[in-house]
Structure 1
Amino acid sequence: MNRLSNATLGGLPPSVARPAYDRGAVTSGIVHLGIGAFHRAHQAVVIDDRLAAGETGWGIVGASLRAGDTRDALKPQDGLYTLAVRSAEPTRFRVIGAIAKVLVAPEGPERLLARLADPAVRIVSLTVTEKGYCHDPATGALAEDHPDVQHDLSEALPRSAPGYLVEALRRRRRAGHAPFTVLSCDNLPANGATVKRVLTRFARLRDADLGRWIEAELACPSTMVDRIVPATADADRTEVDAALGVADAWPVVAEPFWQWVVEDHFPTGRPDLAASGVEMVRDVAPYELMKLRLLNGAHSTLAYLGYLAGYETVADAVADAGILSVVARLMDEATPTLRPLPGFDLDAYKQNLRRRFANPALRHRTWQIAMDGSQKLPQRLVAPARDRLAQGQPIGVMALGIAAWMRYVTGSDEKGGIIDLRDPLTDRLRTIAAEAGPVAARLTPALLGIREIFGADFAADPRVVEPVIRALDSLFQVGARATAARLARRDLVL
């Protein structure tokens, strides 16, 4: 079967949407770090719309900071790939042409730095996941003892996202060019302010003058991004190949819903994002908090409970009445910790979230969402729990979400099987779990003592320790399904 490429675009079936512009006339004004499935199903789709509208200076050069698998898949396809949008309706297929090329940083650091330093590049966007910022999730500060930070401060060629950005900014300053705008699209609290803090501190450690310049000149607008994008499976490739009549080595699959809220601060220019449905606002924080605590907090809780209960996908997990009840209560308990959004219907938003989770056409694996929990819990569950305590309220179902993570990181499922634990703190988590054993009263304070996740206060606060112990003990004794059912019946009080 022929591959998807510029040469085969014209032969695709009429039902398959494709780039409605001359790709040869596009120049690249954006570099994107972390060229994974989410970016290709979200931001790149919006840019594809803007290119079709005639804004041809905003093509994307993607960059992987780790492996070359995405480059290897897309290079023979001239950067083209398929977006498959799945719901109860027939799947819709669209070929995206916004990505001009993909660079692999470890194979050619200088090539990526040269592209970042090019004054034609006015935006550098990122989806490198929470751990890619080399920061302390509990404080939002640069993790100065991080191995990649230490490497990048001592070596000429970087390997971390902060290292590449600061070195590129140094080169631009030396050449007399304005800094690019850094646009984080990851689930970090105040992601713009966080990345600015990380980059400024990193730069100051290298050169005090560079740090002052970055602090004064660099724009880092905050964003909120939302779309459910499961990992691509072989069955997805088979479906896409059949629909296109050509082979696509790495399509992406997504739900119909998407949202992108962006702080409108781009000193060197930007595409007309609002014309493609992006919400350009002065303050992203209320939207970000809503998404982190309602969607992401529920997603993580679903992932740990669902995986432990033996459910492979999110849709399978929310089909369990007990787990669905946990999700609904978690959202309700998080609601008083949100900032006001006048005119926004939060109840409708929460109902829509539950419908999205239940989409049977998306096989969003609980194991995928469960990855890197030490980086996700601080903003998804710990921060709203801390806010509830400040309001004089119990942490409630959030205690079960935290306990479910604790049960998961023991590395053994309810049938005794080994959990493939993927986390920057894996070794430390396994050591703590092995030393404490499956005893809630020992494991809970031991894990709450990890300051990078829980800060310095949780391990000493009985309002946290006691409900988490009760929830974790139930998970050890009767399992995730029965614990969720007990909570739904109010037989378990947290």
Structure 2
Amino acid sequence: MYLSRKTLPHLPQNVYHPKFDLSQLTPGILHLGCGNFHRAHQAVATQAAINREGPDGLKWGIVSATMRRPDLVNQLRPQDNLYTLLTRVEDRTVASVIGSIHEMVFSGDEAVDLSERVADPRIRIVSLTVTASGYYLTADGRLDPEAQAIQQDLSAPHPRTAIGILANGLALVKQRGAVPPVILCCDNVSHNGATLRQAVMDYASLRGDDRLAAWIGEAVQFPDTMVDRIAPSSHVDDVADAKHALGGIVDAAPVSAEPWFQWIIGSFDGSRPYWEAHPGTKFVQDVAVFEAAKLQMLNGSHMLLAYTGALAGLNTIAEAASDPSLGRITARFMRDEQTASIALSAEELDDYTQALMVRFQNPGIVHDAERVGRNGSAKMADRVMRAMRDNLVAGRSVSGASLLIASWIRWFALNDQDALELSLTDPKAKILQRICAEARDDHKAQAEAFLAMEEVFGPPLPDHDRIVAEIAGLLRRLTEEDVPSVLRELAA
């Protein structure tokens, strides 16, 4: 038997499942980017809200769109869009069946017009998890008008990017004189609500519709948010573990996650689910301090663990964080460098650092370095460079940031030489590989060429030449020496 509405009554009693009538669910939320994170985060909080609100909550069903491939749609539709969340701690796994997704669609399906879905008057919230690279931003946070996907959308009848879908959908809302939905960005982008608003306005202007751009800026709410939960890519054990937990019922698309859950949302007007029913969800007036702490301390440190760990043969975050040398380097980087300009007390920063390292070391979460390391060029500005600049201006060490950048460059150099076992996914991969090929044996030239990419790193750093030399020196050592030995020395 496969997981479905019909098999719900056959679940073991210890499996959490929806407490509402799934047949009565109606669409109220459109979500762009239905991946593992969305299914382990927003969909879970939405189910808690529907459960808490009872019949009044049934209007918050999610229409969830996959943006790249139809695979998940094809897996979940036969299961009535039900799936298992496997919450993994060190010594056990807790299974929950999630039923808040009302409908699954694929954006590439010719019969699906997501812009019309944005304009559907039943949709009161449009949320997004399309990753940082899905916004096609330059280093200064504006829409890149030269991005190929954006150019294609501008000439296509049905856009495929989230930015194009939102702009076209909001144009329909304006044209019909309707109330626009609230747009809720749930990606790790600095000031994500305001940044998304500007990107959609930029797209509208590229369409030649400055009036639409102005209306979006004035009439549409784009609250900032901060999301935090580690939900790794699907693992071969997930299906077997779900079947065991469900008493023999098969789930073709379970998702794993850590116990930690946090969702900080900027307050906005209008109806919404009672998301606070899920512990860790909070509405606040200012998301900025939570966002900065998460982007820099968690996401920036994740990048260091992924890039440097993989070079040392540590291919999961748990392995890398548990390594005595790299774990010590990462904790020091997180607390001493990545806390720059974060308005929390020393005690709060200490506690958050300790909690993050414990989370990173959780062996129940198989978070691959390859996945964490994707799209580094789109992440570097918010997660690494902002704190690095602050530290350089203040005269503080940036040794961890330099190691991170050197390790990232080494990934491209190894990939150019067909010596990297991990696949390399990055919107600027071809350019960065070419740099490594042209300066294959010149580490200083590689460091200079990478840092010269202002669309990734921003303008020249304070004390730029010294930092280039520092990164080049680390790059040489990562190339010529045994990486674990280098890390032991750096951790001392």
- Shorter-chain TM-score bucket reads over 0.9
Equivalent in the alignment of 1:158: 159
The runs of 5 or more residues in structure 2 that have no matched partner are: none
Distance 1:27 1:65 in 2: 22
| Residues 441-484 of structure 1 deviation map (CA, whole Å, 9 limit, x = unaligned) | 12110111112111231398124212212221221121432222
| Residues 155-184 of structure 1 deviation map (CA, whole Å, 9 limit, x = unaligned) | 321111110001000001111111111111
Distance 1:437 1:339 in 2: 38
| Residues 99-156 of structure 1 deviation map (CA, whole Å, 9 limit, x = unaligned) | 01111111136532222210110110000001111211x1100000111211222232
1:91 matched to 2:90: no
Distance 2:182 2:190 in 1: 19
* Distance 1:414-1:155 versus aligned 2 partners, 3 A rule: closer
Give the one of 267, 270, 282 matched to 1:268: 270
Indicate conservation of the 8 Å contact 1:305/1:481, yes or no: no
Equivalent in the alignment of 1:37: 36
Indicate conservation of the 8 Å contact 2:34/2:65, yes or no: yes
> 1:75 is aligned with what amino acid?
R
1:377 matched to 2:383: no
Equivalent in the alignment of 1:169: 170
* Distance 1:70-1:299 versus aligned 2 partners, 3 A rule: same
Distance 2:420 2:31 in 1: 38
Where do 1:464-479 residues align within 5 Å?
464-479=467-482
Indicate conservation of the 8 Å contact 1:230/1:362, yes or no: yes
* Distance 1:158-1:340 versus aligned 2 partners, 3 A rule: same
Q: Which moved more, 1:79-88 or 1:475-484?
A: 475-484
* Distance 1:109-1:415 versus aligned 2 partners, 3 A rule: closer
Distance 1:379 1:223 in 2: 15
Partner secondary structure for residue 378 of structure 1? helix
Indicate conservation of the 8 Å contact 1:308/1:414, yes or no: no
| Residues 286-308 of structure 1 deviation map (CA, whole Å, 9 limit, x = unaligned) | 00100111111110000011111
Distance 2:286 2:68 in 1: 33
**Taking every aligned residue pair, what percent have the same amino acid on both sides?**
38
Where do 1:6-405 residues align within 5 Å?
6-53=5-52, 54=54, 55-108=57-110, 110-136=112-138, 138-206=139-207, 207-244=209-246, 245-265=248-268, 267-277=269-279, 278-341=281-344, 345-405=348-408
Distance 1:186 1:67 in 2: 19
Indicate conservation of the 8 Å contact 1:166/1:202, yes or no: yes
Q: Alpha-carbon deviation of 1:392?
A: 2.8
1:452 matched to 2:455: yes
Indicate conservation of the 8 Å contact 1:224/1:288, yes or no: yes
Distance 2:424 2:39 in 1: 26
Q: Alpha-carbon deviation of 1:11?
A: 0.4
Distance 2:491 2:344 in 1: 29
| Residues 232-283 of structure 1 deviation map (CA, whole Å, 9 limit, x = unaligned) | 1121111111221111111000111111111112x33211222323111111
Indicate conservation of the 8 Å contact 1:290/1:338, yes or no: no
Distance 1:437 1:197 in 2: 39
> 2:478 is aligned with what amino acid?
L
| Residues 378-402 of structure 1 deviation map (CA, whole Å, 9 limit, x = unaligned) | 1111111011122232322111111
Distance 2:156 2:392 in 1: 44
Distance 1:336 1:276 in 2: 28
Indicate conservation of the 8 Å contact 2:48/2:277, yes or no: no
Q: Alpha-carbon deviation of 1:417?
A: 4.4
* Distance 1:462-1:343 versus aligned 2 partners, 3 A rule: closer
* Distance 1:418-1:8 versus aligned 2 partners, 3 A rule: closer
Equivalent in the alignment of 1:492: none
Distance 1:200 1:409 in 2: 34
Give the one of 431, 434, 438 matched to 2:437: 434
Q: Alpha-carbon deviation of 1:342?
A: 6.0
* Distance 1:33-1:415 versus aligned 2 partners, 3 A rule: closer
Distance 1:308 1:273 in 2: 41
Partner secondary structure for residue 269 of structure 1? coil
Indicate conservation of the 8 Å contact 1:377/1:453, yes or no: yes
Q: Alpha-carbon deviation of 1:413?
A: 9.8
Indicate conservation of the 8 Å contact 1:41/1:229, yes or no: yes
Q: Alpha-carbon deviation of 1:429?
A: 1.2
> 2:80 is aligned with what amino acid?
D
> 2:228 is aligned with what amino acid?
D
* Distance 1:336-1:248 versus aligned 2 partners, 3 A rule: closer
RMSD of aligned residue pairs (Cα, Å): 1.8
> 2:325 is aligned with what amino acid?
G
Distance 1:19 1:89 in 2: 25
Q: Alpha-carbon deviation of 1:334?
A: 2.6
Indicate conservation of the 8 Å contact 2:407/2:475, yes or no: yes
Q: Alpha-carbon deviation of 1:335?
A: 4.9
Indicate conservation of the 8 Å contact 2:411/2:420, yes or no: no
Q: Alpha-carbon deviation of 1:419?
A: 3.9
- With normalisation by structure 2, the TM-score equals 0.95
Q: Which moved more, 1:284-293 or 1:473-482?
A: 473-482
Partner secondary structure for residue 314 of structure 2? coil
* Distance 1:162-1:141 versus aligned 2 partners, 3 A rule: same
* Distance 1:174-1:453 versus aligned 2 partners, 3 A rule: same
* Distance 1:415-1:201 versus aligned 2 partners, 3 A rule: closer
Indicate conservation of the 8 Å contact 1:192/1:222, yes or no: yes
Indicate conservation of the 8 Å contact 1:227/1:258, yes or no: yes
Partner secondary structure for residue 221 of structure 2? coil
- With normalisation by structure 1, the TM-score equals 0.95
Distance 2:309 2:429 in 1: 20
